[in-house]
Structure 1
């Protein structure tokens, strides 16, 4: 390790100037990915607006993805998306689709840039007038040059006006003859001064449409700006040679903007070259924040030293593999995803990397058909293709089943022996941490974890007697995605069972077995291709909300910036009624003071309980929990399970849990339904695997 006083050591401290976040040069892989996705959304909207009768108004929806690009990225990302989207729309919907995408890019881009720069309606108005004038002058110049086209257009307009005037004059209605003559005179006068007409019409139409788009889009962007992505990886434009390890932390702390406490710290440790370092700790102890610091975020205080630049995503730099595999896979084929974003001319032995991560022979497979464990292995292969000096694996096993978890740990445990790299594995599973050369346990700030670990569940009372009458009836349910297309995929086949009132049911299955599809059908959010799902004898799809559902990724279900706003919105009451908010928080074992905290300041366990608070405040007939223990440490899992068991026993709440694991769920869910490849199967005996 270079000594702290050497000239080549890169030091980040509270007093040092921040590394510039402004990008320059060619588009980066993440920018290309954002541009591709947003271009596809805009093109699809434009095509629908042009092809479907009376759907032209939908074209305004296309301004949203373009506005988001302009708001969050540099101008060339917007230009790339505009070119891609316009070409797609032109090939399918012709010039109408092309111009719709261009219009959406103009309106959305203007709104996004103005919003990002902190300007307002006046700036938009002036910009629209200027743009209208420019387009008007271009149109006028074109017609001056193309005189034959101009005469043809004018003759057509005159013929239409004369025809209309003749019809009006022929009507036996007093005054219509004068109106007909006025129409002919007006059109003749307008065509005499046609440059003024074209420029004026261009200014009026563009300004009108732009102001409408700004009015709608600015509200969307304002809403998004209220929910900052504090866990976003920071891009560093540091041009220094890439050398992320050894990384030495000296009394490092980090505090998120607007927070009243440190998310992590003080930390003093060194990540040595070639070591496998395991980081453990409870939810809220700062594990993810430590990942952000290692990947380039500047600490709030203390000193973080490296011999060179972090090189996040660069060849030979730092690679990060995170817990949601779907968000990291960009290629449509496995082989494409492995080499996504590599420098041109890079020689990569894709087959060897796929063999190493256990995906032998899957290079030509569609990534959409991979299981969660396979997607996570693919993300590891993509990271290894960059030959990183530092790889960070952040809770990579939390969203996969037991078999997938064991396979991933086997892959990770030998990486530092097969590659010249350091591995930082962040996990809350002790057995996974044991595979490391060294284990660092983060104790965290008590304010972060106390409510999740020790907040009491509602007072236990005598068990209530429930009727056990049929509540949810799944009758012969089958579901096929993309039905009737070449891409059709069967998710469920002939599922048949009944959930009684007050029951606790575990729907178990490996990744890809159809569990989440069944959950959406049971909640009424998805209509089955065949069969029916009934709640109290009526289709559940006609009673959306009566069966609450908590998604696997709790953060994606939290749409407001603050806890009390989120609970009030989900429950349907006024957030000013603090009594109702406090009651909802108490029902899930959270301190009432948490209501004024920002969502992005919560730990994973707190987020999951806030989601439950909002859902339970609506008094649903049943609640479906999709992987409720995913991403939670052992203490948080125990606390959440105790809470749910007490709610089911004391209130008669019907609970359906979707999970790939049995561990710890026996008391909450005495009954198990097993899914295998979309079909009901005999339930296997519970195995270990507790956290």
Structure 2
């Protein structure tokens, strides 16, 4: 039985764990890239200080051997590209970052840094003395260079009136000091290393304090429990969870159970605690209450618990499909990769580059990688919300029969009615805390068929707001890796118009959205806003990203809205008004961004965009992650703004239910081409 209490120390092994290896690889690549830029780009040496940040975070969060692994990997890459200068830059970053990270992790301060720097400086100085003793020719070359510099400086000083004696004294004194060169080199080494260490500590410790102050509250934590792995049957009794610095529970009280081999659907409104429940089921300790299991959680381990998340990009680590399936498995584990790929609909793609997979294919790959661990408990957290209808149907075909083909319990968190209906049982998280089985009348997101290309019969009024003419776009144009995203796009969007753009994953919808927002200049053709290039008017067309979290740049909700809209964060009234516009509680104004659900994040982005009164609004998958009530309320809000204030709205979506009134026009993209060209530009219905 597991109850709320302090976390146990993480289990240490001699070899690097998969998470440690992944972190070392990422941080090494980042540090090496910074070092190469600092060496290769003229007058960019100061950029090398940025390389201390990833190394510092690595030293703070992981073992010393992880930092050493990253240093070796990053140093070799930098050496191959930028030579010895790149290698030494990575080593310097690793030293400063490692010293700062270790000192902060152990709760020490400046005295520890000074002591460590003196020891490191003494070792460096002694090494330099020994090296110069052996390499006599290098020593003479260095000394001749020093002497030439001092002689030149003395010549400059001698030109100053009454400074001849000082110039002669400088030359003689330097010659005398040079006789005791071992002491000189040793002192220079100690002073240099100590000075660099103190400056690095002063700067990097402040950066790390701010970075470490940002809680990664939704992070999956590595399994810390010991003993036999047995995550099910699972029993939650009056479980509550409250995030750090929060004044209210994000979950609970919840009492529920998960039985072996059961397909359980978890539903509930945005903010009801579905993602928090996923964290508790995968091993996070609750604030209060008890979680009873027969054994260890075994997150990511054979026979334990596996999690498939909403954004599969965060789970794909292998460069090939087959590599990703077996990533992190213990050596010697026998896995039939081809059988697993065939089961999830990826037959014949074992050698495929993961970077070329669509969103639906990435989600299927994540499911295959999870099944490779033969989990007793598989948690799927809204895995269908970001993929097109074809990918969604394919994923549900895999998930719906999973418990019959594998000895696993499946917990599927979803907003969709047909996905919940496929489960053996449904648990609904209630907005006022708690959970209930099969709550009658609970609103769910309905599935809808793909709408036909349509236009309104009302003639447009006035000149078009957005006008695209012959727009084509090629990524990496002029290189062997060139890829055409759009070709020959022609249409216009008038004031007050509502347009739905639909297409499968990879059809070019997001590229088109970025061009219409002025964030990307098309390779061919023009995109005009009120008759002028939209790329010269960045900000006039507001764009809500598909991944809302990537658009939130401030730590708190009120600061984010004020920054996006361009007013002072102290203007509480405007913040509350913006939150009310998108149906959010004013109490969320002081909430940290990372404490919000995915749907709440999406609405905060929209609140900031609407508060600055954009000329047009482009929404990339605005309904993804929203519950039925939130989606309905958002659509009513946008419909009202379009009709009453003649707001121009362009929606890119895989979800179509309820969009008829907001978007009377529908455009279909297929392979970067408009499959059905519009015959008129719709106005207000």
Using structure 2 for the length normalisation, give the TM-score. Answer: 0.89
- Which residue number corresponds to residue 589 of structure 2? 595
Give the alignment partner of residue 653 of structure 2, picking from 645, 652, 659. 659
- Which residue number corresponds to residue 12 of structure 1? 2
TM superposition shift of 1:273: 1.2
Q: Which deviations, in whole Å up to 9, do the C-alpha atoms of 1:120-140 show, x marking residues without a partner? A: 555545544443343223222
- Cα distance in 2 for partners of 1:475, 1:212 equals 55
- Which residue number corresponds to residue 612 of structure 1? 606
TM superposition shift of 1:382: 0.6
- Which residue number corresponds to residue 5 of structure 1? none
Q: Which deviations, in whole Å up to 9, do the C-alpha atoms of 1:23-78 show, x marking residues without a partner? A: 44422222222221221111111112212222222222222222232233333222
TM superposition shift of 1:333: 0.8
Query: In the alignment, is residue 380 of structure 1 matched against residue 367 of structure 2?
Result: yes
- Which residue number corresponds to residue 625 of structure 2? 631
Query: In the alignment, is residue 135 of structure 1 matched against residue 124 of structure 2?
Result: yes
Aligned partners of 2:623 and 2:655 also within 8 Å: no
- Which residue number corresponds to residue 488 of structure 1? 482
- Which residue number corresponds to residue 382 of structure 2? 395
Change (3 A) 1:163 1:557: closer
TM superposition shift of 1:627: 0.7
Change (3 A) 1:162 1:403: same
Query: In the alignment, is residue 45 of structure 1 matched against residue 45 of structure 2?
Result: no
Query: In the alignment, is residue 278 of structure 1 matched against residue 268 of structure 2?
Result: no
Segments of structure 1 that go 5 or more residues without pairing to the other structure are 1-10, 454-464, 685-691
- Which residue number corresponds to residue 456 of structure 1? none
- Cα distance in 1 for partners of 2:383, 2:677 equals 27
Aligned partners of 1:165 and 1:180 also within 8 Å: yes
Q: 3-state DSSP class of the match of 1:222?
A: helix
- Which residue number corresponds to residue 332 of structure 1? 319
Change (3 A) 1:657 1:124: farther
RMSD: 2.7
- Which residue number corresponds to residue 192 of structure 1? 179
- Cα distance in 1 for partners of 2:131, 2:299 equals 49
Q: 3-state DSSP class of the match of 2:9?
A: coil
- Which residue number corresponds to residue 3 of structure 1? none
- Cα distance in 2 for partners of 1:220, 1:533 equals 41
- Cα distance in 2 for partners of 1:529, 1:122 equals 57
Change (3 A) 1:582 1:279: closer
- Which residue number corresponds to residue 515 of structure 2? 521
Give the alignment partner of residue 75 of structure 2, picking from 82, 86, 91. 86
Aligned partners of 1:63 and 1:105 also within 8 Å: yes
Change (3 A) 1:640 1:237: same
Aligned partners of 2:35 and 2:48 also within 8 Å: yes
Using structure 1 for the length normalisation, give the TM-score. Answer: 0.89
Query: In the alignment, is residue 561 of structure 1 matched against residue 555 of structure 2?
Result: yes
Segments of structure 2 that go 5 or more residues without pairing to the other structure are 436-442, 444-458, 679-685
Change (3 A) 1:653 1:70: farther
- Which residue number corresponds to residue 344 of structure 1? 331
Aligned partners of 2:463 and 2:530 also within 8 Å: no
- Which residue number corresponds to residue 297 of structure 1? 284
TM superposition shift of 1:260: 2.5
- Which residue number corresponds to residue 242 of structure 2? 255
- Cα distance in 2 for partners of 1:660, 1:34 equals 34
Q: Which deviations, in whole Å up to 9, do the C-alpha atoms of 1:587-623 show, x marking residues without a partner? A: 3333333212222333333222211222222232222
Aligned partners of 1:249 and 1:303 also within 8 Å: yes
Q: Which deviations, in whole Å up to 9, do the C-alpha atoms of 1:395-440 show, x marking residues without a partner? A: 1101111111111000011111111111111111121111112222
TM superposition shift of 1:467: 5.5
Change (3 A) 1:503 1:376: same
- Which residue number corresponds to residue 33 of structure 1? 22
Aligned partners of 2:264 and 2:423 also within 8 Å: yes
Q: Which deviations, in whole Å up to 9, do the C-alpha atoms of 1:530-570 show, x marking residues without a partner? A: 33333233333333222222112222322322221222222
- Which residue number corresponds to residue 44 of structure 2? 55
Query: In the alignment, is residue 474 of structure 1 matched against residue 468 of structure 2?
Result: yes
- Which residue number corresponds to residue 405 of structure 2? 418
- Cα distance in 2 for partners of 1:478, 1:219 equals 46
Change (3 A) 1:58 1:494: farther
- Cα distance in 1 for partners of 2:104, 2:479 equals 41
Aligned length: 656
Change (3 A) 1:290 1:375: same
- Cα distance in 1 for partners of 2:230, 2:140 equals 68
TM superposition shift of 1:229: 1.1
TM superposition shift of 1:322: 0.7
Aligned partners of 1:19 and 1:236 also within 8 Å: no
Change (3 A) 1:190 1:624: farther
TM superposition shift of 1:375: 0.3
Aligned partners of 1:49 and 1:58 also within 8 Å: yes
TM superposition shift of 1:290: 1.5
TM superposition shift of 1:639: 1.2
- Which residue number corresponds to residue 668 of structure 2? 674
Aligned partners of 2:376 and 2:407 also within 8 Å: yes
Q: Which deviations, in whole Å up to 9, do the C-alpha atoms of 1:227-257 show, x marking residues without a partner? A: 3111111212322011111112222222222
